[in-house]
């Protein structure tokens, strides 16, 4: 059984292991690709993470995350830009294939979503030359509209692709099943993303019914209502054949289980539901 098409976003096993331990566990299970988060890397140090990834021959399908551009004043917006420069440097050091971008929500006290979206466009434009010089693609991830206030004002794949069109080379999209499965224009927008090779990453998990927490109650593939195999067919028809990256935030379920059990389940469900 080949697991070349499977990657583990390390948020999925963040409660069980640090980055080094998680990479070693993935290798034990025959998984050859991961996507770490910046806070996880900071917890044990960038150099330690780089060594662990190299020692285990691990592919890094992405790095989470850059973005979070909107702020209440110019100083805050500049601080976000400076932090994104650091994120680009870290992604390069790790050998990541892209830096995942989560736009950011409304600034504190604001009700102006249009202004926040403009700050996102301006922030991306500010960091893009640096990202291009580092050969680090920026992968804009649209998040479900439920996150617009506090985490992400880019809420549809169409919005993300409009930003790509505006910004040009060096920018693409992360397509996460959890965030876009509901979109009535999904098929058209995935096809549009494929026309210019804009699909940089494909994240998978499932939408539970009921969902008890909109951030930390994602489902394991096959436990919810998303047609994951149909979703993947659209992704591949658009020309993307890269790994499917399991990203599950699950405070009351999968984060409480042994890490080896989580990885075994990811493998089994990937084989059953996602190929």
**pTM of this prediction exceeds 0.95:** yes
Give the pLDDT score at 252. Answer: 98
User: Rounded to the nearest 5 degrees, what angle is found at the Cα of 185, between the Cα atoms of 180 and 190?
Assistant: 70
pLDDT for res 216: 98
Q: Strand order in 99-102's β-sheet?
A: 59-60, 33-35, 6-9, 244-246, 199-204, 171-176, 138-140, 99-102, 63-67
CA 116/CA 119 separation, integer angstroms? 5
Contacts (Cβ under 8 Å, ≥6 apart) of 24: 52, 56
The yes-or-no verdict on residue 26 having pLDDT over 90 is yes
20 domain-assigned? yes
Note whether residue 142 is domain-resident.
yes
pLDDT of residue 137: 99
Asked whether residue 10 is domain-assigned, the answer is yes
Torsion of CA 215, 223, 192, 92, to 10 degrees: 60
Is residue 1 scored above 60 in pLDDT? no
86: in domain: yes
Residue 150: pLDDT band (50, 70, 90) is very high
- Mutual angle of helices 259-269 and 19-28, in 10-degree steps: 50
- 273 within some domain: no
The pLDDT value recorded for residue 275 is: 81
Arithmetic mean of pLDDT, 2-30: 97
In a domain, 124, yes or no: yes
Domains in the chain: how many in total? 1
CATH number of the domain residue 93 falls in: 3.20.20.150
Phi-psi region of 168 (alpha: psi -120 to 50; beta: other; left: phi over 0): left
> What tens digit of pLDDT does each residue of 137-147 get?
999 999 999 99
Domain membership of residue 253 (yes or no) is no
Question: With b meaning 16 or more CB within 10 Å and e meaning fewer, what string describes 100-129?
Answer: bbbbbbbbeeeeeeeebbebbbebbebbbe
Res 55: pLDDT = 98
Inside any domain, residue 271: no
Q: What is the pLDDT of residues 33-62, one digit of tens each?
A: 999 999 999 999 999 999 999 999 999 999
Q: State pLDDT tens for residues 63-121.
A: 999 999 999 999 999 999 999 999 999 999 999 999 999 999 999 999 999 999 999 99
For 48, the token pair is 């330690």
**Range of the structural domain that residue 237 is part of:** 6-205+227-248
């Amino acid at each position: 059984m080949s697991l070349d098409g499977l990657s583990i976003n390390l948020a999925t096993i963040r409660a069980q292991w640090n980055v080094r331990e998680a990479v070693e566990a993935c290798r034990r299970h025959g998984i050859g690709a991961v996507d770490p988060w910046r806070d996880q890397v900071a917890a044990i140090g960038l150099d330690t993470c780089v060594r662990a990834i190299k020692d285990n021959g691990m592919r890094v399908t992405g790095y989470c995350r850059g973005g979070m551009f909107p702020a209440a004043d110019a100083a805050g917006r500049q601080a976000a830009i400076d932090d994104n420069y650091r994120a680009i440097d870290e992604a390069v050091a790790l050998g990541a294939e892209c830096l995942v971008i989560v736009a950011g929500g409304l600034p504190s006290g604001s009700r102006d979503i249009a202004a926040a979206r403009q700050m996102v466009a301006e922030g991306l434009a500010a960091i893009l030359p640096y990202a291009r010089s580092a050969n680090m693609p920026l992968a804009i991830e649209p998040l479900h509209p439920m996150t617009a206030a506090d985490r992400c004002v880019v809420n549809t794949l169409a919005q993300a692709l409009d930003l790509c069109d505006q910004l040009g080379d060096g920018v693409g999209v992360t397509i996460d099943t959890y965030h876009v499965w509901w979109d009535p224009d999904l098929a058209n927008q995935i096809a549009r993303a494929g026309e210019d090779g804009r699909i940089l990453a494909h994240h998978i998990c499932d939408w539970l019914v009921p969902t008890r927490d909109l951030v930390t109650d994602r489902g394991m593939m096959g436990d919810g209502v998303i047609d994951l195999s149909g979703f993947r067919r659209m992704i591949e028809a658009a020309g993307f054949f890269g790994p499917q990256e399991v990203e599950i935030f699950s405070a009351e379920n999968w984060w409480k289980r042994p890490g080896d059990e989580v990885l075994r389940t990811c493998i089994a469900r990937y084989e059953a539901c996602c190929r």
